[in-house]
């Protein structure tokens, strides 16, 4: 492996060296191209269309008038191509002569079919979607700009069919639970790997030494706030992500940032934009039971956000710089959930010559937020409001004073995050391109969980406590991708891509705890009488290389073959390089001569595709090692056993079969994408008991087998397209059937939940199935207090999807709506169980009556009745935008949006989207409902002024 790394370094640095010696703008005999890009139907200028001279780095983007210019083009013959989202790509052959300017205009046809869109994730090289044998989803700039959401996980909500991004609570700092195509591991997180401009970034949560604050945990997804995103590409695992090897079983999300010339920027002139958003967050009180909670716990939060952005430059050197700050007072009384985010972003693109360019992006985030003890914590204020009767007169003479004490323990967290990326591309000749990527993601967070002295009785800690946890995460990424387009052999074209990628992760945590403060008014550790510290360090290296071959036949059929080899420092010492093969075929049937003309009127385009591939999921660092613990006991260190170790530990391997079609109907006004997928994870890591008699605990071993299968359908429909009205309707449906196929001889085990209804891994059942007590109906139809223990329910919804529309009226007004839904899953209603414990009538009546007075049912013997269907339909977002043209030279944009305001078809007892208590280890499957602070309803009003 070291040998390979050195070889790759050699190549990268060598090529960089050569390129930097190249004169940058040394073309002596050049010409230029200008033109206008318009919509063919409406004859309107298109703003932000991409123009590129194929095989070079030269290109441009249309401005507000649809105009573009490409200067300093070496004389010669070129293919010029124009791409724009929701339009068909057009190409023209042109000849550029020295000292001349030629005009090349285009008129583009709109299309709901996205076949010409170019994606780069997962293929090694940039490729049109029509050539792909598996689906790659994209979220376009247009969709991103419409959203008022700050972080990436919020942005993903409802955008990609088959990708779930559910926020577990309305607490700042808690990232979404992201799943694509089901749950593929019984122990590891479901979060896809995330890249920003080619750099692998931190996507972890539930830090090892962080204070247990209830059910919610901090997540690095919440501060993945990227100033200016141009495009997001999403691979939902399967063959599409094979080239990402041992980390890609949960899919890959690639974020590409803006580097200047996009979105209608006139080359040469800096374009400033200033925007301000203000609004309110209102608590979702649909599931709040007690009036006191509504009156004393919640408040309406005030939000304000500001952003300044400048873009500009020339075709040769362009930039995009922005700064923003957002502040939210939060929805809990006394501003206990404040959330501040500061973001600085700079993107730069320099053309180093007609064969090479350099792209740099740097993003800094400062995130300060507060949270409170929550969910499953005994002193969590919400639980004491909602079920413990703590503030009722029977328990206290002075509820006001007690409430103020319960609201005192709180958590402050501050995050500094810096992400940097350099990408250099170099094409020594038109057929051969190279891309080198180097960069880092550095994230440092400090969590301070503080219970002041006056709370000592409620937190059961004399004198209170402070717990500080510092986590430092550094991920370094180094990658090279080469692509060679071989000369065509008759109808056969061939593109070979190859490359390597390595990343190293340093994940260090240090915590300090101070117990028993002598006096109130301090939260410093040295002021406590008892001080302890802890530390946990992890390191990981992963490296691999790949080769793919894409063969085109008559430019209609595309064969796709690939192979990746991976090494990883989390693999056992007896495990060598892992291989990940893939193969696929795409067939553009509608391009065939025999495709009937009469059918073209109905179904204008049709692509069939199928693929097979293997991806992986590597174990946690150092799980392979046999280790011993050294634990403190009255200031002395005591030895014990820790981890048994496994020299054969290797990644979980998921084999996927995808099949589907992309079709365009009615002159491509309707597009339908259909996928069937079946993913089988072998060598799944299960927690396998070792004989207790040996003294060691369980070991994660590769013994299990898990299957996920289902379909995905997405639809786009350009329903109305006239000069004044433009209406696009979209929707999607994804299904997933999740099942543990084999336990590999290991016993079932618990991954979360509670003793009376644990969430289990059991053969033949979905991951996280509940083991519950079901009241037994006797032969005479009565219930006599008997019950049977059964495995029931599924925390993963079987049906999910989204729906929405984009309506543009008279050019300046647009209305968009996005809804999401889920069905076929279950959620355990722990909220009602807790209310049963404290004798609330509404909860007690949920328990069935037994005819035998000696054997009444309780929530233990009838735990199945607390499994609820987690069906819901949520209008995630409604946004109205208006462009007021005349007030200022470039007009003003007004935006009004409502987020999470409407929800239908849900249980009256608990919020089905939330998750009350986190599962064990890395995996989080959801499905536990409790008294969670629900995601708030958000109202936003924004003004954007282009200067």
- Answer yes or no whether residue 851 interacts with another protein by CB under 8 A: no
In the complex, what is the shortest distance from the CB of residue 32 to another protein, in angstroms, rounded to a whole number? Answer: 23
> Smaller CB distance to another protein: residue 369 or 787?
787
Among 446, 555, 642, 762, binds another protein (CB under 8 A): 642
> Which residues ranging from 770 to 809 are in contact with another protein (CB under 8 A)?
none
Among 92, 626, 647, 776, binds another protein (CB under 8 A): 626
* Count of other CB atoms within 10 angstroms of residue 288: 20
> Which residues ranging from 559 to 598 are in contact with another protein (CB under 8 A)?
567, 569
Which residues are within 8 A (CB) of 483 and not within 5 positions of it... i.e. 6 or more apart? 124, 125, 432, 433, 434, 495, 496, 497, 498
d(CA 150, CA 303): 12
d(CA 517, CA 521): 9
Q: What's the 3-state SS for 85-103?
A: CCECCEEEEEEECCCCEEE
Q: Which of the ranges 16-24, 210-218, 316-324, 558-566 carries the binding residues for another protein, by CB under 8 A? A: 16-24
Tokens (6 digits) for 778: 């006797």
Q: Cα Rg for the chain, rounded, in angstroms?
A: 29
> Which residues ranging from 645 to 684 are in contact with another protein (CB under 8 A)?
645
Rounded to a whole number of angstroms, the distance between the first and last alpha carbons of the chain is: 53
> Which residues ranging from 441 to 500 are in contact with another protein (CB under 8 A)?
460, 476, 478
- Answer yes or no whether residue 698 interacts with another protein by CB under 8 A: yes
The pairing of strands 410-429 and 699-721 is unpaired
> Which residues ranging from 371 to 390 are in contact with another protein (CB under 8 A)?
378, 388
CA-to-CA separations, 863 to 752, 772, 788, in angstroms, rounded = 15, 6, 10
Among 747, 813, 849, 884, binds another protein (CB under 8 A): 747
Tokens (6 digits) for 83: 């791409």
> Smaller CB distance to another protein: residue 43 or 394?
394
- List 352's β-bridge partners, or say none: none
Among 404, 690, 786, 823, binds another protein (CB under 8 A): 690
> Smaller CB distance to another protein: residue 79 or 395?
395
Which residues are within 8 A (CB) of 536 and not within 5 positions of it... i.e. 6 or more apart? 208, 209, 508, 509
> Smaller CB distance to another protein: residue 591 or 625?
625
> Smaller CB distance to another protein: residue 596 or 697?
697
> Smaller CB distance to another protein: residue 366 or 504?
504
> Smaller CB distance to another protein: residue 733 or 909?
909
The answer to whether the CB of 426 falls within 8 A of the CB of 356 is yes
> Smaller CB distance to another protein: residue 649 or 833?
833
Which residues are within 8 A (CB) of 599 and not within 5 positions of it... i.e. 6 or more apart? none
Q: Which of the ranges 107-115, 257-265, 636-644, 818-826 carries the binding residues for another protein, by CB under 8 A? A: 636-644
Q: Which of the ranges 29-37, 279-287, 753-761, 876-884 carries the binding residues for another protein, by CB under 8 A? A: 753-761
Which residues are within 8 A (CB) of 762 and not within 5 positions of it... i.e. 6 or more apart? 740, 743, 748, 769, 771, 791
In the complex, what is the shortest distance from the CB of residue 83 to another protein, in angstroms, rounded to a whole number? Answer: 32
The secondary element (H helix, E strand) that includes residue 382 is helix 381-386
DSSP string, 210-230: S---SS---BTTTT---S-EE
> Which residues ranging from 819 to 848 are in contact with another protein (CB under 8 A)?
833, 837
> Which residues ranging from 491 to 550 are in contact with another protein (CB under 8 A)?
502, 504, 513, 515, 530, 532, 537, 539-541, 543
In the complex, what is the shortest distance from the CB of residue 865 to another protein, in angstroms, rounded to a whole number? Answer: 15
> Smaller CB distance to another protein: residue 718 or 771?
771
Classify residue 745 as exposed, middle or buried by CB count within 10 Å of its CB (0-12, 13-18, 19+). exposed
In the complex, what is the shortest distance from the CB of residue 833 to another protein, in angstroms, rounded to a whole number? Answer: 7
> Smaller CB distance to another protein: residue 533 or 813?
533
H helix runs in 628-728, sequence order: none
Task: Print burial letters for 832-848: b (CB count within 10 Å at least 16), e (below 16).
Answer: bbbbbeeebeebeebbb
In the complex, what is the shortest distance from the CB of residue 20 to another protein, in angstroms, rounded to a whole number? Answer: 9
Q: Where are the beta strands (DSSP E) in 491-527?
A: 492-517
- List 539's β-bridge partners, or say none: 506
Q: Which of the ranges 142-150, 302-310, 481-489, 689-697 carries the binding residues for another protein, by CB under 8 A? A: 689-697
Q: Give backbone dihedrals phi and psi of 228, rounded to 5 degrees, phi first.
A: -135, 95
Among 697, 788, 845, 851, binds another protein (CB under 8 A): 697
Q: Which of the ranges 154-162, 292-300, 635-643, 791-799 carries the binding residues for another protein, by CB under 8 A? A: 635-643
- Answer yes or no whether residue 892 interacts with another protein by CB under 8 A: no
> Smaller CB distance to another protein: residue 517 or 821?
517
Count of residues engaged in binding another protein, rule: CB under 8 A = 73
Q: Give backbone dihedrals phi and psi of 831, rounded to 5 degrees, phi first.
A: -60, -50
Q: How far is CA 757 from the centre of its chain?
A: 30
> Smaller CB distance to another protein: residue 3 or 594?
3
The answer to whether the CB of 26 falls within 8 A of the CB of 355 is no
Among 152, 688, 898, 910, binds another protein (CB under 8 A): 688
Among 54, 269, 689, 888, binds another protein (CB under 8 A): 689
Of 63, 59, 123, 412, residue with least CA distance to 252 = 123
> Smaller CB distance to another protein: residue 161 or 199?
199
> Which residues ranging from 82 to 101 are in contact with another protein (CB under 8 A)?
none
d(CA 216, CA 373): 9
Binding mask 393-422 for another protein (x = CB under 8 A): --x---------------------------
> Which residues ranging from 17 to 56 are in contact with another protein (CB under 8 A)?
17-18, 21
Among 393, 490, 597, 639, binds another protein (CB under 8 A): 639
Tokens (6 digits) for 944: 């954007």
- Answer yes or no whether residue 74 interacts with another protein by CB under 8 A: no
Classify residue 235 as exposed, middle or buried by CB count within 10 Å of its CB (0-12, 13-18, 19+). buried
The tokens 């830090």 sit on which residue?
207
In the complex, what is the shortest distance from the CB of residue 204 to another protein, in angstroms, rounded to a whole number? Answer: 17
> Which residues ranging from 311 to 350 are in contact with another protein (CB under 8 A)?
none
Among 554, 628, 810, 902, binds another protein (CB under 8 A): 628
In the complex, what is the shortest distance from the CB of residue 13 to another protein, in angstroms, rounded to a whole number? Answer: 5
3-state secondary structure of 146: helix
Q: Which of the ranges 157-165, 686-694, 718-726, 910-918 carries the binding residues for another protein, by CB under 8 A? A: 686-694
> Smaller CB distance to another protein: residue 489 or 693?
693
- Answer yes or no whether residue 634 interacts with another protein by CB under 8 A: yes
Of 562, 421, 654, 578, residue with least CA distance to 124 = 562
> Smaller CB distance to another protein: residue 8 or 146?
8
Q: Which of the ranges 190-198, 488-496, 690-698, 716-724 carries the binding residues for another protein, by CB under 8 A? A: 690-698
> Smaller CB distance to another protein: residue 754 or 939?
754
Tokens (6 digits) for 10: 């050699």
Query: Taking the CA of residue 115 as centre, how many other CA atoms within 13 Å lie in the half-sphere pointing to its CB?
Result: 30
The tokens 């994870």 sit on which residue?
681
> Smaller CB distance to another protein: residue 535 or 592?
535
> Smaller CB distance to another protein: residue 291 or 755?
755
Q: Which of the ranges 236-244, 519-527, 631-639, 676-684 carries the binding residues for another protein, by CB under 8 A? A: 631-639
């Amino acid at each position: 492996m070291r040998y390979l790394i050195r070889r790759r370094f050699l190549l990268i640095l060598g090529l960089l060296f050569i390129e930097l010696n190249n004169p940058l703008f040394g073309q002596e005999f050049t010409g230029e191209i200008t033109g206008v890009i318009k919509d063919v139907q409406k004859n309107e200028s298109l703003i932000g269309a991409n123009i590129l001279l194929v095989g070079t780095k030269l290109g441009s983007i249309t401005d507000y008038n649809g105009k573009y210019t490409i200067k300093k083009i070496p004389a010669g013959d070129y293919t010029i191509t124009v791409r724009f989202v929701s339009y068909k790509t057009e190409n023209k052959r042109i000849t550029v002569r020295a000292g001349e300017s030629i005009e090349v205009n285009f008129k583009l046809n709109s299309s709901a079919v996205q076949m010409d869109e170019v994606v780069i994730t997962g293929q090694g090289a940039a490729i049109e979607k029509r050539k792909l044998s598996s689906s790659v989803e994209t979220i376009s700039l247009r969709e991103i700009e419409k959203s008022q959401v700050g972080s990436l996980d919020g942005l993903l909500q409802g955008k990609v069919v088959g990708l779930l991004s559910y926020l577990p609570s309305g607490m700042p700092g808690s990232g979404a639970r992201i799943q694509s195509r089901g749950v593929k591991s019984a122990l590891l997180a479901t979060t896809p790997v995330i890249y920003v401009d080619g750099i692998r970034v931190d996507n972890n949560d539930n830090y090892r030494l962080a204070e247990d604050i209830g059910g919610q945990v901090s997540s690095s997804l919440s501060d993945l706030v990227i100033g200016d995103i141009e495009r997001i590409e999403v691979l939902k695992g399967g063959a599409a992500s094979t080239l990402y090897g041992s980390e890609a079983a949960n899919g890959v999300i690639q974020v590409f940032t803006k580097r200047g010339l996009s979105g209608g920027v006139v080359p040469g002139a800096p374009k400033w934009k200033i925007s301000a958003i203000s609004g309110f967050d209102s608590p979702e009180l649909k599931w709040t039971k007690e009036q006191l909670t509504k009156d004393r716990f919640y408040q309406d939060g005030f939000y304000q956000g500001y952003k300044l952005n400048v873009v500009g430059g020339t075709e040769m050197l362009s930039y995009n710089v922005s700064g923003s700050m957002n502040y939210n007072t939060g929805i809990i009384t006394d501003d206990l959930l404040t959330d501040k985010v500061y973001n600085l972003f700079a993107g730069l693109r320099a053309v180093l010559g007609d064969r090479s360019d350099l792209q740099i992006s740097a993003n800094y985030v400062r995130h300060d937020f507060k949270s409170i003890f929550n969910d499953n914590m005994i002193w969590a204020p919400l639980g004491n409001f909602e079920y413990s009767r703590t503030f009722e007169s029977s328990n206290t003479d002075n509820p006001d004073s007690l409430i103020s004490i319960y609201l005192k323990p709180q958590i402050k967290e501050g995050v500094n995050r810096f992400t940097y990326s350099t990408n250099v591309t170099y094409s020594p000749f038109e057929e051969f391109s190279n891309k080198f990527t180097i960069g880092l993601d550095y994230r440092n967070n400090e969590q301070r969980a503080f219970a002041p002295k006056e709370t000592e009785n409620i937190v059961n800690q004399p004198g209170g406590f402070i717990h500080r946890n510092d986590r430092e995460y550094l991920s370094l990424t180094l990658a090279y991708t080469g692509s060679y387009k071989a000369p065509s052999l008759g109808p056969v074209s061939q593109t070979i891509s190859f490359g390597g990628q390595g990343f190293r992760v340093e994940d260090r945590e240090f915590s300090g705890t101070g117990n028993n403060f002598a006096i109130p008014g301090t939260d410093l550790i040295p002021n406590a009488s008892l001080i302890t510290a802890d530390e946990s360090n992890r390191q990981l290296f992963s490296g691999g290389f790949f080769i793919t071959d894409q063969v085109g036949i008559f430019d209609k059929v595309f064969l796709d073959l690939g192979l990746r080899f991976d090494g990883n420092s989390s693999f056992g010492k007896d495990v060598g390089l892992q291989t990940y093969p893939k193969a696929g075929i795409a067939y553009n049937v509608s391009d065939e001569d025999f495709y009937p003309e009469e059918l073209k009127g109905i179904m204008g385009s049709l692509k069939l595709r199928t693929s097979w591939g293997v991806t992986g999921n590597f174990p946690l660092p150092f799980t392979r090692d046999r280790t011993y613990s050294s634990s403190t006991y009255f200031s002395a260190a005591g030895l014990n056993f820790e981890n048994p170790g496994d020299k054969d530990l290797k990644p979980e391997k998921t084999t996927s079969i995808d099949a589907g079609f992309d079709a365009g109907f009615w002159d491509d006004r309707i597009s339908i994408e259909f996928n069937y997928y079946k993913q089988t994870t072998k060598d799944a890591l299960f927690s396998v008991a070792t004989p207790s008699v040996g003294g060691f605990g369980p070991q994660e071993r590769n013994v299990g087998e898990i299957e996920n299968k289902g379909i995905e359908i997405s639809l786009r429909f350009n329903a109305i397209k006239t000069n004044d009205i433009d209406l696009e309707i979209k929707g999607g449906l994804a299904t997933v059937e999740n099942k543990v196929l084999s336990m590999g001889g290991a016993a079932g085990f618990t991954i979360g939940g509670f003793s009376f209804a644990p969430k289990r891994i059991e053969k033949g059942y979905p991951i996280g199935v509940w083991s519950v007590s079901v009241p037994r109906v006797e032969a005479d139809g009565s219930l006599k207090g008997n019950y049977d223990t059964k495995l029931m329910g599924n925390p993963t919804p079987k049906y999910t999807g989204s729906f929405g529309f984009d309506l543009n009226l008279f050019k300046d007004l647009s209305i968009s709506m996005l809804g999401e839904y889920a069905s076929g899953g279950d959620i355990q209603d722990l909220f009602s169980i807790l209310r049963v414990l404290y004798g609330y009538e509404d909860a007690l009546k949920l328990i069935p009556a037994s005819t035998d007075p000696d054997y009444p049912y309780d929530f233990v013997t009838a735990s199945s009745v607390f499994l609820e269907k987690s069906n819901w339909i949520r209008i995630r977002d409604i946004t109205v935008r208006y462009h007021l043209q005349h007030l200022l030279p470039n007009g003003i944009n007004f935006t009004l949006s409502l987020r999470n305001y409407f929800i239908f078809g849900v249980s009256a007892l608990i919020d089905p989207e939330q998750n009350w208590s986190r599962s064990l280890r890395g995996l989080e499957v959801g499905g536990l409902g409790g008294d969670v602070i629900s995601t708030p309803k958000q109202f936003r009003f924004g003004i954007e002024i282009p200067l």
